[in-house]
């Protein structure tokens, strides 16, 4: 386990900056120099001119021009130092700090390398003091890259300089496919695959073998490390165009990180990208930036600095509390209401809200007994909670009535959502099993004080939904009222000290184990209004609808947060098999869950509210003690909230998930777990999602599957590598083909939204 010093990689902050831990073989590479390009026109003036140029209807400018502009914004040193100081109390809530610094050996070998977050913050502060950062972007990107190197989708800090001015992208989405499901996959331009699948091109698609002069697979593995996921195969998948992500429209990772979707939008890709193909041809494309603010009158870095909100710091010539004004984004071509199927999907049998969940059948005689529940999200919007739960119940009932005996659950693109929806979906499928769901928090002074205050105040009132004391109910429904959870044995706690009960793992302090009490009268407050199947008014749902052997889960690696909770229940307690798609071009096993396996995130604003309410709720005798404690002194600054991108509040993973029977104290985040079957993507899977479901069904029940099995170290089998694509295997649908292709082409316009609403899911 080795650490790459942050100061070495800063290099005065080129795009590869602030990367304290990545191994040289996986460090994202970029050849951009450190300083802004000089020209006769100031970079920001050039951006403003291009932004308002006639015909620029999509608010894009050349990537290099935008990069030079944002690099020219000078750093407000006073504000930067204040921010670094004010954010420290919030970092204390991140549960994985010690395990990131000293992870298990298998995690280092197979997932990611160590990162010392606290030492990295110290180094950034030292670089501020030394004058190493020229501008706001250098500082902001260093901080972003440090936190991103944790590869924890719940742990994020995205300053305005990184997330609010420009998003970067490429105009060519890619896919990685095996020609026949047996050959090793290769990379293709998605437009070529579309043309090949629908027979609209006269040439044979050729694989991309080099990117910017480097082996394509190596280049893409390096690029993938800019992603939000932790698993390397999942990160690789997320580079590419995928129907499940597209089905979410602008709330997914769009057309893949390579083309600027998800976290790819915050990384400067260089001025151009050159693709070299197996047939010897090459193509150079100019990369672009999407302008997120109105550039009227912004002709210099100093003028652009006026859009930064320093909130209370000495802003020098900056504009104080002026907020960024985002330009409306190009919205998705995908269906948004659930009234129609997303591009590449079959007709919906039972529609859920906003394509977050839908029920499908496979229109083929060989799969007449198979139902498919597509779940690309577990909801982050209270308006959809009840409808989401009802979709599963209604679809399962209809599937059984229609003679379906097998169920595929497709969680591709699922970054999580409402925790209780994950519990409920499991309970709908396995009503007789009590979900284990052991969790813990990091034990520190602020958490203990909040627990003392909340538990003392909340215990004076009955635990009921109809209380007129809103702030009491707010406390009673949180972890910090000792009555809100059960212990490891699913028995009530009797006091806050019993629940807090700190113990040491890996040199850090953690609370005792707590499990959600699913029969809690206040459960609906945390579930968006639903009751959990098997409890309360839903206690009569007791019959298991499908045998465990007749249920499988399909993953693309993006599964995270609540999705990882659901997956843990289904695999560990339900005995359901996991089918993982895609991955890097090799024959090795891959994980199913590649996203954050932490089970609860809180944004910093919520943490601040917890702390402030803890002070207000203290008894008169305790009030002064709380006001003089860390709660009263460390959580009043608004700089960390104001300076971060309007895209997202900064946040932390505040609850670890733990495996039943594991006494090591290792969070699920740091456990490696292979899928039961790996399947390569094939060309038809990029235009017709039922091809994925058929391949999984064949492997599980049809006796003709193509699981990648030869992954033993002593295997001598060498598989042929895909270099070209043969004839399309899609069945002809007549006029529908043209319509489907048109819908898929429209999805190229999808951009990941910078102002997503909703809570609980891993925002792309």
Summarised one tens digit per residue, pLDDT across range 401-444 is 999 999 999 999 999 999 999 999 999 999 999 999 999 999 99
Query: Does any domain span residue 579?
Result: no
pLDDT at 33 over 80: no
Query: Does any domain span residue 677?
Result: no
SS3 of residue 368 by DSSP: coil
Do 322 and 444 lie in one domain? The reply is no
- Give the structural domain span for 11: 1-169+293-326
Would you state the pLDDT for residue 372? 99
Each residue of 449-465: pLDDT tens digit? 999 999 999 999 999 88
Query: Does any domain span residue 390?
Result: no
Higher pLDDT, 21 or 432: 432
Kindly state the DSSP code that residue 574 receives in the 8-state scheme.
S
Number of domains in the chain: 2
Query: Does any domain span residue 141?
Result: yes
Do 444 and 304 lie in one domain? The reply is no
pLDDT at 373 over 50: yes
pLDDT band at 20 (very low <50, low <70, confident <90, very high): very low
Q: Give the mean pLDDT of 698-722.
A: 76
pLDDT band at 736 (very low <50, low <70, confident <90, very high): confident
Last residue of a domain, one of 305, 326, 347: 326
Buried b (16+ CB within 10 A) or exposed e, 334-351: bbbebeebbbbbbebbbb
753: nearest Cα among 167, 128, 7: 167
How far is 235 from 22, CA to CA, in rounded Å?
Answer: 14
Query: Does any domain span residue 133?
Result: yes
Kindly state the DSSP code that residue 536 receives in the 8-state scheme.
G
Q: Is 436 exposed, middle or buried (0-12, 13-18, 19+ CB in 10 A)?
A: middle
pLDDT at 757 over 70: no
How far is 502 from 512, CA to CA, in rounded Å?
Answer: 6
The token pair that represents 511 in the structure block:
């609370």
Backbone angles phi, psi at 85, to 5 degrees: -70, -45
Would you state the pLDDT for residue 717? 59
Do 524 and 661 lie in one domain? The reply is yes
Q: Spell out where 46-86 has E strands.
A: 60-62
Would you state the pLDDT for residue 715? 53
Query: Does any domain span residue 360?
Result: no
Q: Give the mean pLDDT of 519-548.
A: 95
Would you state the pLDDT for residue 339? 52
How far is 645 from 754, CA to CA, in rounded Å?
Answer: 8
pLDDT band at 471 (very low <50, low <70, confident <90, very high): confident
Which range, of 276-290, 632-646, 699-713, averages the lowest pLDDT? 699-713
Would you state the pLDDT for residue 309? 67
Q: Give the mean pLDDT of 274-286.
A: 98
List the Cα angle 409/410/415 in 5-degree steps: 120
Question: Look-up: residue for tokens 């305005």?
Answer: 160
Question: Look-up: residue for tokens 């109809």?
Answer: 466
Kindly state the DSSP code that residue 620 receives in the 8-state scheme.
T
Would you state the pLDDT for residue 22? 30
Full DSSP string of 106-142: HHHHHT-----HHHHHHHHHHHHHHT---BHHHHHHH
| Count of residues in the chain | 764
How far is 352 from 363, CA to CA, in rounded Å?
Answer: 20
Would you state the pLDDT for residue 87? 97
Of the segments 190-204, 495-509, 718-732, which one has the largest average pLDDT value? 495-509
pLDDT at 364 over 60: yes
475: nearest Cα among 497, 460, 492, 455: 455
The token pair that represents 743 in the structure block:
């819908």
Query: Does any domain span residue 121?
Result: yes
Kindly state the DSSP code that residue 702 receives in the 8-state scheme.
I
Percentage of the chain modeled with pLDDT above 70? 87
Query: Does any domain span residue 304?
Result: yes
Would you state the pLDDT for residue 97? 99
Do 8 and 156 lie in one domain? The reply is yes
Contact partners, residue 42, CB within 8 Å, separation at least 6:
72, 299, 300, 301
Would you state the pLDDT for residue 190? 98
Q: pTM (2 decimals)?
A: 0.91
How far is 223 from 85, CA to CA, in rounded Å?
Answer: 31
How far is 674 from 639, CA to CA, in rounded Å?
Answer: 42
Q: DSSP H helical segments within 438-583, as ranges?
A: 445-458, 470-476, 496-500, 523-526, 562-568
Each residue of 620-678: pLDDT tens digit? 999 999 999 999 999 999 889 988 876 667 999 999 999 999 999 999 999 999 999 99
Each residue of 567-602: pLDDT tens digit? 999 999 999 999 999 999 999 999 999 999 999 999
Mean pLDDT of the chain: 89
Would you state the pLDDT for residue 36? 39
């Amino acid at each position: 386990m080795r650490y790459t010093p942050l100061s070495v990689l800063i290099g005065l902050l080129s795009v590869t900056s602030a990367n304290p831990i990545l191994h040289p073989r996986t460090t994202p590479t970029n050849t951009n120099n450190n300083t802004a390009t000089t020209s006769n026109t100031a970079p920001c003036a050039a951006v403003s001119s291009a932004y308002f140029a006639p015909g620029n209807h999509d608010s894009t400018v050349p990537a290099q021009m935008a990069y030079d502009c944002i690099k020219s914004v000078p750093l407000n040193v006073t504000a930067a130092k204040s921010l670094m100081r004010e954010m420290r109390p919030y970092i204390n809530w991140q549960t994985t700090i010690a395990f990131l610094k000293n992870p298990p050996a298998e995690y280092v070998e197979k997932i990611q390398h160590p990162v010392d977050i606290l030492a990295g913050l110290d180094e950034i502060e030292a670089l501020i003091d030394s004058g190493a950062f020229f501008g706001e972007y250098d500082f902001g990107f260093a901080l972003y890259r440090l936190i991103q190197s944790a590869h924890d989708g719940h742990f994020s800090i995205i300053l305005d300089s990184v997330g609010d001015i420009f998003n970067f992208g490429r105009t060519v989405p890619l896919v990685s496919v095996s020609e026949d499901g047996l050959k090793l996959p290769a990379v293709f331009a998605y437009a070529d695959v579309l043309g090949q699948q629908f027979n609209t091109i006269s040439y044979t698609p050729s694989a991309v073998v080099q990117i910017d002069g480097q082996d394509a697979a190596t280049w893409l593995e390096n690029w993938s490390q800019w992603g939000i996921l932790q698993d390397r195969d999942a990160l690789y998948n997320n580079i590419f165009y995928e129907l499940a992500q597209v089905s979410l429209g602008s709330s997914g990772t769009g057309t893949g990180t390579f083309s600027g979707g998800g976290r790819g939008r915050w990384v400067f890709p260089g001025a151009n990208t050159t693709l070299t193909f197996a047939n010897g041809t090459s193509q150079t494309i100019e990369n672009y930036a999407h302008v997120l603010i109105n550039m009227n009158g912004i002709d210099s870095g100093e003028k652009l600095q006026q859009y930064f909100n320093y909130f209370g710091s000495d802003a020098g010539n900056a504009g104080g509390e002026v907020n960024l004004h985002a330009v409306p984004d190009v919205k998705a071509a995908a269906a948004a209401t659930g009234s129609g199927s997303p591009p590449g999907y079959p007709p919906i049998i039972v529609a859920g809200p906003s394509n977050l969940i839908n029920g499908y059948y496979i229109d083929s005689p060989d799969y007449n007994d198979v139902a498919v529940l597509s779940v690309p999200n577990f909801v982050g919007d209270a308006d959809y909670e009840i409808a989401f739960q009802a979709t599963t119940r209604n679809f399962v009932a209809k599937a059984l009535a229609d003679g379906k005996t097998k169920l595929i659950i497709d969680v591709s693109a699922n970054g999580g959502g409402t925790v209780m929806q994950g519990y409920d979906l499991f309970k709908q499928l396995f009503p007789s099993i009590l979900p284990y769901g052991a969790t813990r928090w990091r034990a520190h002074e602020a958490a203990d004080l909040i627990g003392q205050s909340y538990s003392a105040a909340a215990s004076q009132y009955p635990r009921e939904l109809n209380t007129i004391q809103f702030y009491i109910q707010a406390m009673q429904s949180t972890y910090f009222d000792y009555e809100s959870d059960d212990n490891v044995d699913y028995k009530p706690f009797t006091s806050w000290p019993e629940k807090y009960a700190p113990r040491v793992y890996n040199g850090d302090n953690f609370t005792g184990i707590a499990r959600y009490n699913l029969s809690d009268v206040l459960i609906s407050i945390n579930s968006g209004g639903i009751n959990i199947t098997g409890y309360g008014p839903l206690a009569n749902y007791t019959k298991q609808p499908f045998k465990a052997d007749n249920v499988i889960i399909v993953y693309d690696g993006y599964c995270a947060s609540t999705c990882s909770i659901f997956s843990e229940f289904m695999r560990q307690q339900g005995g359901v098999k996991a089918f993982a798609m895609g991955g890097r071009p090799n024959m090795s096993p891959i994980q199913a869950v590649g996203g954050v396996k932490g089970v609860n995130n809180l944004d910093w604003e919520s943490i601040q509210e917890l702390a402030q309410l803890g002070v207000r709720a203290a008894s008169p005798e305790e009030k002064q003690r709380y006001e003089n404690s860390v709660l009263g002194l460390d959580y009043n600054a608004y700089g960390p909230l104001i300076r971060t991108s309007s895209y997202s509040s900064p946040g932390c993973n505040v609850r670890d998930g733990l495996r039943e029977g594991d006494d090591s104290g290792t969070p699920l985040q740091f456990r490696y777990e292979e899928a039961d079957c790996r399947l390569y993507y094939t060309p038809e899977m990029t235009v017709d999602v039922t091809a994925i479901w058929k391949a999984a069904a064949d492997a599980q029940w049809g006796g003709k599957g193509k699981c990648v099995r030869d992954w033993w170290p002593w295997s001598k089998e060498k598989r042929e590598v895909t270099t070209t694509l043969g004839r399309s295997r899609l069945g002809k649908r007549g006029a529908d083909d043209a319509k489907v292709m048109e819908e898929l082409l429209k999805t190229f316009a999808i951009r990941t939204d910078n102002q997503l609403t909703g809570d609980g899911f891993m925002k792309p």
